[in-house]
Chain A
Amino acid sequence: MPGTVEIPKEKWTGAIRQVTLGATADQGGSRARTVTVGGETTLPFLFFEGAIPNPPVIALEVQDSYPADWSPVLLQAWGDALRDPATWARKAEELGADLIMLRLRGVNSNGQLTTTAQATATVRAVLQATGLPVIVRGPGQAERDNELLVAVAEAAAGERLALGLCEDKNYRTIVAAALAHGHLVIASSPIDVNLAKQLNILISDMRMPLDRVLMDPTTGALGYGLEYTYSVMERLRIAALTGDSMTQQPMICFVGEESWRQKESRAASGVPAQWGDLEKRSVTWEIVTATTLLESGADIVVLRHPKTVGVIRNTIRKLMAQ
């Protein structure tokens, strides 16, 4: 018997904030183009319930010194480019990245602490090598983050870098530097919706406009807490779409960093034969983690392997096709 079925649709009342990274020459920076993320009025790729004005984007990770501790699969894929951040960034742009995520390890390959002058020189070199907007992360230790990121913020004033990571124990200095020099910040919380929201409130209380804040919910790789990340991102996104103003930030996921440090991405020997070829396995690990997080609401995925970029680019294109 013929009949019509009405598919129930959710009516969302909120929207994710649009955040623009990078500034062109006439906007006070030197980027060839800017990248805008966010703006969604629906859950990931559910076009029948709302709009997704900006597709998710891909950032490639670049580091300030040779990453000798990286998987041999990554070292081989990038080759000598890893020895020079500017060359590395240029190659990342050629591979189709939308953004460069420059990680300042804060130590050179001899294990010596880098000075603020060296850090700013690296940032300048990367900015010259690529026209893409740039994200800059510190070493991840409060004192050093503050020291380096304040110098970087000043040296790259007006570029609309995204600076991070701001955490509940250490955010004031980075937010103040970003405020003073026209940058964005990344607010990072340890897979916890309450802390994620609270940090956005604290950053907003410092008068940082929320269209300059990205949210890092902390990424668990496939097999290592991915489902927790998924739950937290889903919860935050639903809250945002139902109008909870302090959860409406676009989300950035550091996929490569998490994926490539797992055993499955590193172990060439001493593992069951059915695990198969290391390169295929490790790249697949990054692809699956990234794809899952895109489906969970990631607006920016930060990747490491060149091959992943092409696959994820294609995945985003297909998911965005209505």
Chain B
Amino acid sequence: MYIIGENIQILSPRIKAAIAEHDATYIRQLARAQVEHGASMLDVNIGPRKKDGTEVMPWLIEEIYDEVGPVPLSLDTTNAAAIEAGLKKCRELGIEAMINSTSADPDRLNVTMPMAAEYGCKIIALAMDKNIPATADGRVALAMEVIIPKAEELGIPMDRIYLDPLVLTVNGCQEHGPETLNAIRSFKMLWDPPPMTTVGLSNISNSVPHEMRSLINRTYLVMLMAAGLDSAIADPLDEAQNEVIRIIEQRDDRTGVGRAYLALYDAVANMEEFTPDHVDMSDPDQVAIYKTVRILENKVIYAHGYLTS
């Protein structure tokens, strides 16, 4: 699993303050920590940053480069000029860059997709236009009719396009969970060679109490991996999540929890139902996995107390 570290992001008050005060100490710490915890790429999310994005983005890239060297970077802003300034800086420093992001909305597609062609970089394409389609089919249609044709027209190879079907929180947008999963499956089946896929994983547990987020994130990640997910913007510092990725990739069935996650992976990959028979229901950890799958499949309504009811 190709993990794009999500921790340098403007919604964090400490990151916001670091940028405002032009003090990169904390950002450099986070960059190092994420790389040490196995992140393959780092997301650099500066928000819209309309005024000074063209200065902030190259500055952050330099600071991060100075700390961790030429680790690939995902340039995450809606400010196209800031992205382009970042792409230039990455080229200058020999850093592999990714644009985060474009979408099927022509206002974004016609600006950022040509940049990906010009700079020969990777690009995340959100399967939405002005709105997020309610179904997997709606997302797939935008990829088929708008995003991929545009990439082909510009000669961008499929392995540089990262389709993102959009993950929304299980607490309020629960019906999207299976749709996002099915969209990943379709993205990987519809083209040969297939495009790459990614998601903003932690969104699945937005507005969920902190102590429950990791379980939901890592369980959904297993399901997404089984559907064909290539990469995720996620928290590389989440050790439990890293362990689950290892279990799946090495097919480590030595523990009960490991066997449960592998059974989940196989069930989703084979499009079979994940049932209580797949887990040891006398093990509370496996029961928690089972209950989490049920809410992620939108079969049981999410509530903060779903694990105890």
Interface residues of A (CB under 8 A from B): 192-195, 197-198, 200-202, 204-205, 235-236, 239, 242, 244-247
Residue among A193, A194, A195 with the highest chain B CB neighbour number at 10 A: A194
C-alpha spacing A245/B303, complex, angstroms: 12
For residue B189, CB closer than 8 A to chain A, the reply is no
CB within 8 Å of A: which of B189-214?
Answer: none
Task: Taking A201-B309, A239-B300, A246-B305 as given, write out 4 further A-B residue pairs in contact, using a Cβ cutoff of 8 Å, ordered by the A residue number.
Answer: A194-B302, A198-B304, A205-B308, A246-B309
Provide the residues of chain B in CB contact with A200, threshold 8 Å.
303
Q: Is the CB of B300 within 8 A of A244?
A: yes
Q: Is the CB of B305 within 8 A of A202?
A: yes
A-B complex: 10 closest residue pairs judged by Cβ atoms: A198-B303, A201-B305, A197-B303, A201-B309, A246-B309, A239-B301, A197-B301, A244-B300, A198-B304, A193-B301
Provide the residues of chain B in CB contact with A204, threshold 8 Å.
309
C-alpha spacing A204/B302, complex, angstroms: 16
Q: Among A202, A205, A236, point to the contact of B301 (Cβ < 8 A).
A: A236
For residue B172, CB closer than 8 A to chain A, the reply is yes
B290 to chain A, nearest CB (A): 14
C-alpha spacing A235/B171, complex, angstroms: 14
A102 to chain B, nearest CB (A): 30
C-alpha spacing A151/B253, complex, angstroms: 59
Q: Is the CB of A194 within 8 A of B171?
A: yes
Provide the residues of chain A in CB contact with B300, threshold 8 Å.
239, 244
| Residue in B closest to A242 when the chains form the complex, CB atoms | B299
C-alpha spacing A204/B308, complex, angstroms: 11
| Residue in B closest to A202 when the chains form the complex, CB atoms | B305
Provide the residues of chain B in CB contact with A193, threshold 8 Å.
301
| Residue in B closest to A193 when the chains form the complex, CB atoms | B301
Q: Is the CB of A194 within 8 A of B309?
A: no
Provide the residues of chain A in CB contact with B308, threshold 8 Å.
201, 205
- Contacts A194-B171, A194-B172; is A235 near B301 (CB within 8 Å)? yes
CB within 8 Å of A: which of B256-309?
Answer: 299-306, 308-309
> How many A-B contacts if CB must be within 8 Å?
42
C-alpha spacing A272/B171, complex, angstroms: 43
Provide the residues of chain A in CB contact with B305, threshold 8 Å.
198, 201-202, 205, 246
C-alpha spacing A17/B171, complex, angstroms: 25
C-alpha spacing A266/B32, complex, angstroms: 65
C-alpha spacing A239/B175, complex, angstroms: 13
Provide the residues of chain B in CB contact with A239, threshold 8 Å.
300-301
Provide the residues of chain A in CB contact with B174, threshold 8 Å.
194
C-alpha spacing A239/B302, complex, angstroms: 11
Q: List 17 A-B contacts (CB under 8 A).
A: A194-B172, A194-B174, A194-B303, A197-B302, A197-B306, A198-B303, A198-B304, A201-B306, A201-B309, A202-B305, A205-B308, A239-B301, A244-B301, A245-B309, A246-B301, A246-B303, A246-B309
Provide the residues of chain A in CB contact with B302, threshold 8 Å.
194, 197
B192 to chain A, nearest CB (A): 36
| Residue in A closest to B299 when the chains form the complex, CB atoms | A242
C-alpha spacing A246/B304, complex, angstroms: 12
Provide the residues of chain B in CB contact with A235, threshold 8 Å.
301
A117 to chain B, nearest CB (A): 38
C-alpha spacing A236/B174, complex, angstroms: 13
A146 to chain B, nearest CB (A): 23
C-alpha spacing A193/B172, complex, angstroms: 8
Residue among B174, B301, B308 with the highest chain A CB neighbour number at 10 A: B301
C-alpha spacing A198/B300, complex, angstroms: 12
| Residue in A closest to B300 when the chains form the complex, CB atoms | A244
Provide the residues of chain A in CB contact with B301, threshold 8 Å.
193-194, 197, 235-236, 239, 244, 246-247
B178 to chain A, nearest CB (A): 15
C-alpha spacing A239/B305, complex, angstroms: 16
A127 to chain B, nearest CB (A): 35
C-alpha spacing A205/B308, complex, angstroms: 9
| Residue in B closest to A247 when the chains form the complex, CB atoms | B301
C-alpha spacing A194/B302, complex, angstroms: 6
C-alpha spacing A195/B305, complex, angstroms: 10
CB within 8 Å of A: which of B140-174?
Answer: 171-172, 174
Residue among A205, A235, A239, A244 with the highest chain B CB neighbour number at 10 A: A244
Provide the residues of chain B in CB contact with A195, threshold 8 Å.
303
Provide the residues of chain A in CB contact with B306, threshold 8 Å.
197, 201
B69 to chain A, nearest CB (A): 44
| Residue in A closest to B175 when the chains form the complex, CB atoms | A235
A249 to chain B, nearest CB (A): 13
| Residue in A closest to B171 when the chains form the complex, CB atoms | A194
| Residue in B closest to A198 when the chains form the complex, CB atoms | B303
Interface string of B49-84 (1 = CB under 8 A from A): 000000000000000000000000000000000000
Provide the residues of chain A in CB contact with B309, threshold 8 Å.
197, 201, 204, 245-246
Provide the residues of chain B in CB contact with A242, threshold 8 Å.
299
Provide the residues of chain A in CB contact with B172, threshold 8 Å.
192, 194
B246 to chain A, nearest CB (A): 32
| Residue in B closest to A192 when the chains form the complex, CB atoms | B172
C-alpha spacing A193/B306, complex, angstroms: 13
